[in-house]
Structure 1
Amino acid sequence: MTQSDGNSLAVEVMGRLRGDGLEFFMNSRLEPTVRIPDDGFQQDWPADSMRFQDLALSVAYEANEDTLPKNSEMAFLHAQIREECRKGGRRLSQVEVAETESDAIVQGALCYLNNEIEFDGRTVELVEKLRALQDRGRLSAKDEIPVFTNIFSRRLRRLIPVLRGYGIGTEFRHQEDGSYCKLTRLANFQREVAGDTVMPDASDGSQKEPSGKPSAISSSNGTELQVSDDTDGAARMESPGEKARLLQERQPSFSSEADGDNVTAPPLRSDDNLVDGREGGAE
């Protein structure tokens, strides 16, 4: 490639970057972001990061026949990269996904819209519904949903770009009787099949038994165990007489300090029982 102007160099570099699988988009804070799929530890990088600037300069150097491009050419290239990010749309970066996965409001909105098409009503009603989901264990208890509507509204407003990344549209309006909000599914909303089963309210008397309650005894318990093989060690089958003989051989000898004689304890019978540490349950 001959020495070219900034426009043709930018077109060449952008074509090579796309050919290598790079993706250009805006994160939830409207910051230009580039995804480099070949990076193992971190793939999403700010467009103005040294990681991506070094990559863009290397590609531009190769595209310009191993000649360093001019500063004006690189400035135009970075302008084209930022514009390409704007065209790529808005979504969550990897770092943002990790930061927002544990947010109780984000979890609550996803859980609610997993079973409902939308919510359109008073903000205080949405707070009650999401807190009910959290009380029933459907949401993480690490981050509690605010009980005050004004605090909840401020947090929800800040999460609007984050929720959009998860496929949830958020709208607010104020009427005479208070604050209203609307949550709707967007085209990129991903519904979870596991969310189909919603725990019923305890107020209707249909709440299920706790999962920790023991189940009834089944007559088939233990009937499907595999037969032991050589890997389990030798299997021993002993008759009652053999067991009695082994017990007698294992009885310890008690030494008498008075006369030095060894006295052997009488053999245990198979019907002897030990009660409170005494033989035969003697009082």
Structure 2
Amino acid sequence: DHGAGAPPIGLPIDGAVLLVTDEDGRPVPRGTAGELRIGGRGLAAGYLDPELTARRFVDAPAGVVGTDRVYRTGDRVVMRPDGVLEFHGRLDDQVKVSGVRIEPAEVETAFERDPAVRRAVVAAEQTPTGGVRLLAFVQAEGGADPAALLDAVRPWLPEQAVPSVVRLVERFPLDANGKVDRQALLADASAADRGEEALTGEGSTLVERTVLKLCRELIGRADLGPEDNFLAAGGNSLAAARFLEALENEYGVRLRAPLVLRQPDLGAVARLVEERVAALAATA
């Protein structure tokens, strides 16, 4: 458990060459995140698999002293001014949300800034419309409020990295290797969503039921009800654009995003749509 900071992994041993590089293998300045590449003393000749060796063991960047080959670790790190490396997750854990690459470990660190949070795990799943949403699973001291935890991380993260859902958990399921089983967490969340959907009102009017159905599909949350707010529930600008397009296709009314997103909840959005449909019918 590394608390609010990224875990340090120390300094290089004598004779080792550690580089932090961008996607093209160029060294990045200290304090900037990149991939850890290792060369120098102790570097292996490669794997038994020639293709894997070619991908992982590559030429060192021009001008690097002490090694002509380096091993691509796949670890995302930051080198501090004192030379100590901080671990910021695996590059293969990255997900793309609305066209933006997100590192789940950075989102987890944002949650762990809160002293009440013992640990956070962030997982990604596909929505029914083919998008991706983030879910945060948080171990916290008693009385923690998921909505408050979500509000606390917003200033630290880009819009696309803010999870759609925060769920409090007492413990994390582990896989056979002793690592957190993210798929088990997602499965539990999906089952909980289905249960909450059964308890959530389906809407008092046809328009309200349609609005709820569209939002559930776009945001990827089956538990949305008339009292939920589109943005607070995890909706972003891309989902909003698709929502407006779906409403226009369904009802023939064109609404501006700011007007819709200023509504206090989805029930109010449905009433706005009903008003516009009635006004359209009156002028027909």
Give the alignment's TM-score, normalised by structure 2: 0.27
Q: From the two aligned structures, give the one with the greater strand fraction.
A: 2
Task: Answer with 1 or 2: which has the greater Rg.
Answer: 1
Structure with greater helix percent = 1
